[in-house]
Structure 1
Amino acid sequence: MAELIPPADLVGPVPAKKRNEFKTAQLLAEYLPPHFKVFHSVHWATQNCDKTFLGEIDFIVLSPTGRLLLIEQKNGGLLEGKDGVSKLYGAQQKSVNMQMNRNLENLQTAFENRSGQKLDIDLLMYCPDYTIKDKSIVGIPADRVVDQPQADVLPEIVQHVLTERATARHTCADAVLISAFLTNQLNVRYDIGFLGGLAKSAYIEQAAGLSEWVGQMSGSPFHLLINATAGSGKTQLALDELAAAESVGQAALYVCFNRNLVEDMKKATGRPDTCTTFHELARVLYESNGFDYKPGAPGFEQSAEYFADHVEQFAHSVDVLLIDEAQDFEAQWLNTLFKLCKPGGRLIVLMDENQKLYSRVSADFGGWIKIDHQVTYRCPRIVTDHINEFGLAAQPIVSRSVVEGLPSILEVYEAGNDDSLLKATEKVLSQLLAEGHVKDEIALLTVKGAESSDLLKHDLIGKHCLKKIVGRTVSGDFEYSDGEVLADTVFRFKGRSANCVVLTELDFQELDENRKRRLFVGMSRARLRLALVMTQEAAGLLLGESNN
């Protein structure tokens, strides 16, 4: 169901002469897909030679990709002539052709004056009570004229018009900016929640492209290395590969370095036995052979070495093997995991060199099929612009998100001053909440480790209670405190995302590769908006990079 703006419960009593149009608006909202918007009774005004001209557009349908369809509804009979179609209002005859074109021109002009950008607009005429004998006189393509014989399929025609081209013309504005403009025309504040939901759902849909592409590839042996940026669809690819294997009775295994991402994958697949971290897999073998596992770094190293020496117990056991976050694996770990895949199986390694947070030498991928994909469907253009301007990625990142993104926030605090850090972070959180963002869609991330972070030592930031990791459950899942705003490190939040990301404790005197990667990981978690809380020196370094 599409969103109706203004909503039905805010409209009040509908005048008799407007009831037919309002029923059409409700019909479109009911049958169009989610994340479409149906604006009704949109008023415009323009001034020329000291005269003010007023007009009203019956409906404007906005697609998630920023395409617009202006719909003019005419009830009752119409007049057809050599100059087009007209309607009698009492004794006065008014041209429908001229009315539609005037509405389009004035909306385009008003938007361009406000934003400096153009709109991607189509026109459609809807006359549910009348059959037009010659549609060519209307002045728009015949398939944009919906008369009485087609009245029952109006929503389908509207959807077809708006989706026959996948995206708006590249020179035109995006859905976020247009939505804000149109809601302002209606004196309705736009819904942050809708924009965030749009960004999330559209990302899931668009990111499937990488999976479809890889799903059509075959070979023996099938060894594929994918170096793809954050939000490019690597997780969706992994889910689809696991599902495809299960559908034909093949054994599949997903192995990742990141614990959080593995837990998310277990829930998404409904098959926790097919998703594991490397260390979890090593621990299972270690303990199954009678050894006591000791938590912490020594236990990790000991079980990893044991796994490498005894992997033959699991060798050639899976038909499809997916290794994710491979940039953070030791070469020995990867080479050991490769042995799990059957000789004729599918072996797919997923990585992003820009997210390499550990100084580890990777495996040799000589002879593998390689795909490099630096397009993100999650991060809005505002965020990727920052990433590119700050020089955080080896190659420019291209955003194909359906949302432009909301303006970023930069807040400066005094280096070494804990109170200044807390106040700056609180100010950003309060601003986001005041603007309509909700607490459970904000991620407060520090670029420091959990032990070295000053921020994570606190349970409250002003009046905002933090939701922090306090331990692990018996099953090994992270256990959180009862706070409302998630606070974590960029290390542990890898593989996840939020509508708003507040990246804090940016306190550094040089912008080396490790800091660039931490910044990249943190910034690329944002689906809609980014806020940076940093020292003056760090701000100078970043802004200096953007000016180079």
Structure 2
Amino acid sequence: MALIIPPGWREVAVTGAAQREIDTLAVLAEALPDDYAVYHGVHWTRVQQGVSVFGDIDFIIVAPDGRILIIEQKSGFLAESAQGLVKQVQGKARNVATELTEAVQTLILRFAKGGGTLAVEYLLYCPDYHLKDPASAGLDPARIVDASRRQQFAAIVREILPLGLPDAKQHEAVERFLRNILELIPDASAMIGSAGEMVTRLSGGLATWARQLEFSPFRLRVVGTAGSGKTQLALAEVHAAIERGERPLYVCYNRPLADHVRQLVPPAGRVTTFHTLCDSLMRENGKVPDYSDPGIWQRIEHALQFDPLPPDWQFDVLVVDEGQDFSDAWRDAVLRLLKPDGRAIWLEDPLQNLYGRAPAGLEGWVTLHADANYRSPRQVVELLRGLAAASGTITAIDAASPFLGADIEIFSYPDGDTAQMLEQTKHAITRCLQAGFTRPDIALISYHGRERSALLGLDRIGPHTLKSFTGQYDWFGSPLMREGELLVESVYRFKGQSAPAVIFTEIDFDALDERVFRKLFVGLTRAKLKLVLVVSESARRSLAAD
């Protein structure tokens, strides 16, 4: 079975043309030997306009000797014209042969910039359309597989790209080249506790934009909405610094986010929360923090601001994630740790400011705005736009996900009725399971923190055991979690993460204002595919008034 990059494709819930591509992946995975790799979802696009720049390639197959075959799949109806084979995309006629030829040339030229030569074959796959005149398509008819030859597709692929003698050096160069183009970076938004590591790529998006900028000193502030790729950018910066032999420091506010990012970063990269960083400096300077002291938090923050820094506490790259939760004093404390000629990136989303803190001043920094949400289904973003208007919140969110998403389901319970809230939450879990999601795919998110939540302290809900934070840490500083099948977290702790299916429960408020909208924004944007809301009657009336 061929290696599919990125993995996790069998678990993706898609429809339409995307489902046709998943079907093709299944055929390629089964038909090709183990030493072949199939890269999928290769798109070079301008995110703002969504218009193709160099063409789009659906699959790139790499043989053991480094030769590649690119496959462009055109599902659905095509038009045969005097100019060649044409596909209508968003009302525009696109010449298939021209796109495919440009894509081949683009790959060859990009690879040549590194001093190498790339052997590229191509294939056009039209599984739903019978070509009347293959010779008029503008391509070699032997390199076109239409509906009449669909059953021979796998055999034709093997014929075009036969198994030759392995060439480890060329194969490694091609693999490195493709991974660089694809920007394959671990996605820190994957649900904590998930057994598999989710991998994603931003299609010409935030990670690419930010890393192409040049200025000195490098001080970049990214104001990006949820799902725009801020944490992917952070990981790209950390990995790039390590590859250069430099020392990167990643600092965020939220402990669960730091714990998960730490799993995705090599040991050479330091990942920490702000307060853990404060604690570490005190201990390195011979002071043991006394957490029974009511003023301990101010003391450890003061230490990071003013205490002497050990020699190895200077970093080449500083990434601050969740910058909206940092004060001016915190800003100054972490910037002390950056070398004078170091590289700093500050990532923030004002709509995820749940603590009402004033934004940190970053005068003189270059600012990049990223308003496209690639993660949340378009239905979720449309709902948020309406809620923003109703709450008087000024915001610009672009629905950039390829998924419309399942209908958002809302279950309500009488105000103050905890038993009914739990009953409706159980109902929501059942609905997600019926929709085909497994328990590891589902996250229960409470609108309240630990002090007010009736859900976060439970070991189970109905037949489902719950995995939740106990509020305590072990001797090594790791959070102690209750064992269970379903993850349950507060909206505060689940910032920066996501899950395929999210049940946002215990939503209880009287009036929709900007503070409430921010909590709703954080909770709703955690869902990748399915969203269920469990709300009080008062909250439902406010939502219905939108």
TM-score normalized by the length of structure 2? 0.67
SS at match of 1:342: strand
Q: Which residue of 2 aligns with 1:286?
A: 282
**Distance 1:299-1:272 versus aligned 2 partners, 3 A rule:** farther
Alignment of structure 1 residues 61-210 onto 2, 5 Å: 68-69=74-75, 137-138=133-134, 141-143=137-139, 145-146=141-142, 154=157, 201=199, 204-206=200-202, 209-210=205-206
Q: Which residue of 1 aligns with 2:319?
A: 322
**Distance 1:24-1:265 versus aligned 2 partners, 3 A rule:** closer
**Distance 1:136-1:423 versus aligned 2 partners, 3 A rule:** closer
Match of 1:375 among 339, 362, 372: 372
Alignment of structure 1 residues 174-253 onto 2, 5 Å: 201=199, 204-206=200-202, 209-253=205-249
8 Å contact from structure 1 (residues 467, 484) kept in 2: yes
State the Cα distance separating 1:372 from its structure 2 match: 0.8
**Distance 1:472-1:273 versus aligned 2 partners, 3 A rule:** farther
SS at match of 2:250: strand
**For 1:258 and 1:455, how far apart are their aligned partners in 2?**
20
SS at match of 1:390: helix
Q: Which residue of 2 aligns with 1:427?
A: 427
SS at match of 1:410: strand
**For 2:456 and 2:344, how far apart are their aligned partners in 1?**
39
**Distance 1:509-1:292 versus aligned 2 partners, 3 A rule:** same
State the Cα distance separating 1:383 from its structure 2 match: 1.4
Q: Which residue of 2 aligns with 1:298?
A: 295
**For 1:525 and 1:459, how far apart are their aligned partners in 2?**
23
SS at match of 1:403: coil
Per-residue Cα deviation, 1:12-61 (whole angstroms, up to 9, x for no partner):
xxxxxxxxxx999945864594778xxxxxxxxxxxxxxxxxxxxxxxx9
- The yes-or-no answer on 1:358 pairing with 2:355 is yes
Alignment of structure 1 residues 454-465 onto 2, 5 Å: 454-465=454-465
Per-residue Cα deviation, 1:435-487 (whole angstroms, up to 9, x for no partner):
21100110100010112101223222121111111232222122211210111
User: In percent, how many aligned pairs have the same letter?
Assistant: 31
Q: Which residue of 1 aligns with 2:180?
A: none
SS at match of 2:251: strand
Q: Which residue of 2 aligns with 1:538?
A: 539
8 Å contact from structure 2 (residues 442, 487) kept in 1: yes
Which range moves more in the overlay, 491-500 or 137-146? 137-146
- The yes-or-no answer on 1:438 pairing with 2:444 is no
Q: Which residue of 2 aligns with 1:480?
A: 481
Q: Counterpart of 1:299 in structure 2: which amino acid?
A: I
Per-residue Cα deviation, 1:218-243 (whole angstroms, up to 9, x for no partner):
22211111010111111111111112
**For 1:283 and 1:429, how far apart are their aligned partners in 2?**
39
SS at match of 2:402: coil
8 Å contact from structure 2 (residues 258, 272) kept in 1: yes
Which runs of no fewer than 5 residues in structure 2 stay unpaired? 11-22, 42-56, 60-71, 97-123, 146-151, 162-193
Q: Counterpart of 1:544 in structure 2: which amino acid?
A: A
**Distance 1:456-1:288 versus aligned 2 partners, 3 A rule:** same
SS at match of 1:474: coil
How much is the aligned-residue C-alpha RMSD, in angstroms?
Answer: 4.3
**Distance 1:293-1:423 versus aligned 2 partners, 3 A rule:** same
**Distance 1:311-1:210 versus aligned 2 partners, 3 A rule:** farther
- The yes-or-no answer on 1:261 pairing with 2:257 is yes
8 Å contact from structure 1 (residues 316, 342) kept in 2: no
**Distance 1:155-1:330 versus aligned 2 partners, 3 A rule:** farther
Q: Counterpart of 1:293 in structure 2: which amino acid?
A: P
State the Cα distance separating 1:200 from its structure 2 match: 6.0
Q: Which residue of 1 aligns with 2:69?
A: none
State the Cα distance separating 1:398 from its structure 2 match: 1.5
SS at match of 2:487: strand
Q: Which residue of 1 aligns with 2:383?
A: 386
Q: How many residues align?
A: 419
SS at match of 1:146: helix
Q: Which residue of 2 aligns with 1:510?
A: 511
SS at match of 2:256: helix
8 Å contact from structure 1 (residues 380, 528) kept in 2: yes
Alignment of structure 1 residues 487-502 onto 2, 5 Å: 487-502=488-503
SS at match of 2:139: helix
SS at match of 2:395: coil
Q: Counterpart of 2:316 in structure 1: which amino acid?
A: D
Q: Counterpart of 1:457 in structure 2: which amino acid?
A: G
Q: Which residue of 2 aligns with 1:162?
A: none
**For 1:157 and 1:384, how far apart are their aligned partners in 2?**
44
8 Å contact from structure 2 (residues 247, 268) kept in 1: no
8 Å contact from structure 1 (residues 356, 517) kept in 2: yes
State the Cα distance separating 1:370 from its structure 2 match: 0.3
State the Cα distance separating 1:316 from its structure 2 match: 8.0
State the Cα distance separating 1:363 from its structure 2 match: 2.2
Give the structure with the larger helix fraction: 1
Q: Counterpart of 2:75 in structure 1: which amino acid?
A: L
SS at match of 1:421: helix
**For 1:24 and 1:256, how far apart are their aligned partners in 2?**
37
8 Å contact from structure 1 (residues 315, 340) kept in 2: no
8 Å contact from structure 1 (residues 224, 370) kept in 2: yes
**Distance 1:444-1:156 versus aligned 2 partners, 3 A rule:** farther
List 4+ stretches of structure 1 deviating above 6 A: 22-25, 117-123, 147-152, 155-158
**For 1:430 and 1:155, how far apart are their aligned partners in 2?**
44
Which range moves more in the overlay, 343-352 or 306-315? 306-315
**For 1:301 and 1:438, how far apart are their aligned partners in 2?**
43
**Distance 1:285-1:466 versus aligned 2 partners, 3 A rule:** same
State the Cα distance separating 1:294 from its structure 2 match: 2.5
Which runs of no fewer than 5 residues in structure 1 stay unpaired? 8-21, 37-60, 73-83, 85-96, 109-116, 127-134, 159-195
Per-residue Cα deviation, 1:177-230 (whole angstroms, up to 9, x for no partner):
xxxxxxxxxxxxxxxxxxx99x965xx112673112211222221111101011
**Distance 1:512-1:147 versus aligned 2 partners, 3 A rule:** closer
**Distance 1:349-1:145 versus aligned 2 partners, 3 A rule:** same
8 Å contact from structure 1 (residues 230, 524) kept in 2: yes
Q: Counterpart of 2:231 in structure 1: which amino acid?
A: T
